[in-house]
Chain A
Amino acid sequence: MSARGLVRALRDPDVVTALDAGGWNGLIAMARAERLVGTLALRIGDRRVPDAVRQILDDARLDAEREARQALWEADRATEALAGIDVPVLLLKGTAYAAAGLRAGQGRFIGDLDILVPREAMEQVEHALLRAGWEWVKDDPYDDAYYRQWMHELPPMIHAGRDRMIDVHHSILPLTARQAPDMAAMIADAVPIAKGLYMLSPEDRICHAAAHLLADGDLAGGLRNLWDIVCLLDGIDPSALEARAARHGLAAHVGQARRLAAALYGEGARLSFWDRIVAARLLARDGWGRERRKPLRFAFSVRSHWLRMPPGLLARHLFTKWRKGHRPV
């Protein structure tokens, strides 16, 4: 069993009415492992399901509501903390979707608070957050220097009282990545959600989600990120999206994201050989919620490092981490 059953249930929730007990156990375990169980619960809605399943889905829905409430409170706290320095707060990902009431936010698991600010405001933002009770998570000077020199975000911070993390971004991709998105344009074209709160434009939301899924990281949580893209594509003008993606150097990634979205969650699409490999990695999960295809997963993990930095820098980084006792598996 691969995660195809989960993908099918999200695409066409009517299929769940035919599931037996084993099918339900597998679907729920996969949905939890991929952090899609809240989304699944909302997709299934009021369809007829066994009583035991109904209770599980109700729990998932309540958890998602709490997630959204907590995420919005965290955004509110960050806005308050930054009110004095006149930097607009641009919400990214889950918190933005929840704050704006987008379909992508419905039932979505929301982890950390991700915000985007202009690079020149990073220092001010950092000090304002430290004053308001956030503190550093990592105490390793190498990690700290690494984030500041090469990454697109500050080292992660956590709020001492509320125990919630914030990631402060100045770009959507590491500085060492091959693509260099036009961040000035992204920030200039941001759209307001509420007073003092902004999010990316509809096209830029997709560019960000596609970059996050395919140009950065090892595709962990990829089915959730791809579901975001499916929802964000609603009502988008394809030619406007293509132009915007090209401007950020992300045309290939946005194109692939659209093909994968259509193939897995939509009406189907013609997939290239490379698309199929990515799809196989996305679906590498079994009915016990276990990760499958270990070699493929490992290859994508290696690739994620490769994408993030040029070979010489990567070698130096991995050697430093290895000396500090970090092992990849």
Chain B
Amino acid sequence: MNHALSLRIGPATFRIGSTWRRPVEALVALYADYPAPVDGVADFTVRLEPAGPFRRWLRPSIFITGDHGLADAAPMSLAHGLLAAEMGMNLQMALGWRRHLLLHASSVEKDGRALVMTGESGSGKSTLAAQLGERGWRLMGDEFALLDLDTGAVFPFPRLVSLKNRAIDVLAAETPQRRMGPLLAGTAKGDIRHLVPNRDAIGRMGEGAKPALLLFPRFGHAADVRAVGQGEVFMRLTQASTNYVALGEPGFAALTRFVADVPARAIDFPSGDEAVALVERLWKECG
């Protein structure tokens, strides 16, 4: 394609092609510190193509596709090309990754042990992981946690953190400007700004950790901690996994082990600072 870039995020490699220059330029700037694929061969191809015969020039809009795609995916404005590329990579992972059990979850690491946080979009898991990543934890990822099928370890997928709406100002206040991407205003999910993970997160993207605590965060409620039964944890994680069915028995075994070994809590919090304090307390307790 006219413009292209290859990069590696954690164990996965991508070849991203675009009809337009701008999305690739934005990617090159933000992914500057990420390594290229070993051997130059990518696991997945992502394509950003015109959404219709005239949509390259006239009201340019992007159709996101690649090795795996959704026929009815909504086209996106070229102004949101960076987001389109991110979504294209997520789509490949969600539909095509088979080497780990993929959990729709954020994760951070400290002292070789991982904290995994899962929840719907808007639960605060992304923001919380990003904040912890700026406060002494290693950010492993804000979107996918990769559960090793043999060892049970969690592996990182530290793509750019996608900050939405109010989370943008919260993180911009404690992160150097050079690690913040451009503001993408008025996307389908509101305003979005990307945060480049810090040097530690990128440098150790191949390094897994033993999962020690699972949290179901919920932003916007009075502070609270509740126990979650193993049956419920199992069911919620099957829903949070995009490849649980595709992996068959190994996926079941990995998830069963995770649920049996890792303590789980649901936490509510009214603000980021309180969430961080709550997480630190629970982390000490499960220590």
What is the CB-to-nearest-CB distance from A53 to chain B, in angstroms, rounded to a whole number? 5
Our pick among B49, B53, B67 for the contact of A32 (Cβ within 8 Å) is B67
**A53 and B98 contacting across the interface, CB-CB below 8 Å:** no
| Chain A, residue nearest B67 (CB) | A32
Q: How far is the CA of A69 from the CA of B13 in the complex (A)?
A: 29
A residues within 8 A CB of B37?
A: 52
Q: Does A63 interact with chain B (Cβ within 8 Å)?
A: yes
Instruction: Report Cα–Cα, A53/B42, bound state, in Å.
Output: 8
> Of all chain A residues, which has the CB nearest B49?
A290
Contact of B98 among A22, A59, A289, A329 (CB under 8 A): A59
Complex interface: chain A residues within 8 A of B15 (CB): 25
Bound form: Cα–Cα A329–B50 in Å: 13
Question: SS class of chain A's interface: helix, strand, loop or mixed?
Answer: helix
Q: Is B88 an interface residue (CB 8 A)?
A: no
Using A21-B41, A288-B1, A289-B67 as known contacts, say yes or no to A52 and B47 having CB atoms under 8 A apart.
Answer: no
A62 interface contact, C-beta 8 A: yes
A51 at the interface (CB under 8 A from B): yes
Q: A22-B40, A66-B248 are in contact. Are A329 and B1 (CB under 8 A)?
A: no
Assuming the contacts A21-B41, A290-B49, asked whether A52 and B13 have C-beta atoms less than 8 A apart, the reply is yes
B33 CB to closest chain A CB (Å) equals 21
Tell me whether A56 and B53 are in contact (CB under 8 A): no
Q: CB-CB contacts of A251-264 with B at 8 A, as 1s and 0s?
A: 00000000000000
Q: Is the CB of A29 within 8 A of B45?
A: yes
Sort chain A's interface into a size bin. Answer: 20 to 34
In the complex the two chains form, what is the Cα distance from A52 to B99 in whole Å?
12
**Also in contact, A24 and B41, with CB within 8 A (given A63-B246, A288-B17):** yes
Q: Which of B11-56 touch A at CB < 8 Å?
A: 13, 15, 17, 37-43, 45, 47, 49, 53
* Chain A-chain B contacts (Cβ-Cβ < 8 Å), number: 57
Cβ of A50 within 8 Å of any chain B Cβ, yes or no, is: yes
B97 nearest CB neighbor, chain A only: A59
Rounded to whole Å, the gap between the CB of A276 and the closest CB of chain B is 27
In the complex, what residues of A have CB within 8 A of residue B40's CB?
A: 20-22, 25
B66: Cβ under 8 A from any A Cβ: yes
Instruction: Name the contact of A25 in the complex, choosing from B38, B45, B53, B99 (C-beta under 8 A).
Output: B45
Question: What's the nearest-Cβ distance from chain B to residue A161, in Å?
Answer: 13
How far is it, in angstroms, between the C-alpha of A50 and the C-alpha of B246 when the chains are bound? 25
- Indicate if the CB atoms of B45 and A50 lie closer than 8 Å: no
Q: Given the complex, which residues of A lie within 8 Å of B1, measured CB to CB? A: 288, 290
- Hey, which chain A residues are within 8 Å of B98, CB to CB? 59, 62-63
Min CB distance B113 to A, Å, is 27
* A124 adjacent to chain B (CB < 8 Å): no
A55 CB-CB contact with B under 8 Å: yes
Q: A56 — which chain B residues lie within 8 A by C-beta?
A: 41, 43
* B246 with A51: CB separation less than 8 A: no
User: Which of B39, B66, B99 is A50 in contact with, Cβ under 8 Å?
Assistant: B39
> What's the Cα separation between A32 and B68 when bound, in Å?
8
Among B38, B47, B67, B68, the most chain A Cβ lie within 10 Å of the Cβ of: B67
- Taking CB atoms and an 8 Å cut-off, the chain B residues in 87-116 that contact chain A are 98-99
Closest A residue, CB atoms, query B11: A55
**Alpha-carbon distance between A165 and B39 when the two chains are bound, in angstroms:** 39
The answer to whether B47 and A290 touch across the interface, beta carbons within 8 angstroms, is yes
Give residues of chain B (210-251) contacting chain A, Cβ–Cβ below 8 Å. 246, 248
Give every chain B residue within 8 A of A63 (Cβ-Cβ): 98, 246
Across the interface, do B66 and A51 meet the contact criterion of CB distance under 8 Å? no
Give chain A residues whose Cβ lies under 8 Å from the Cβ of B66.
Answer: 289
For A22, the chain B residues whose CB sits under 8 A away are 40
A32-B67, A52-B37, A290-B49 provided; 14 other pairs, C-beta below 8 A?
Answer: A20-B40, A21-B40, A25-B40, A28-B41, A28-B45, A51-B39, A56-B41, A63-B98, A66-B246, A66-B248, A69-B248, A288-B1, A289-B45, A290-B1
Enumerate the 5 nearest inter-chain pairs by beta-carbon distance, A residue then B residue, closest first. A21-B40, A52-B41, A50-B39, A59-B98, A52-B39
Q: Which residues of B contact A (CB under 8 A)?
A: 1, 13, 15, 17, 37-43, 45, 47, 49, 53, 66-68, 98-99, 246, 248
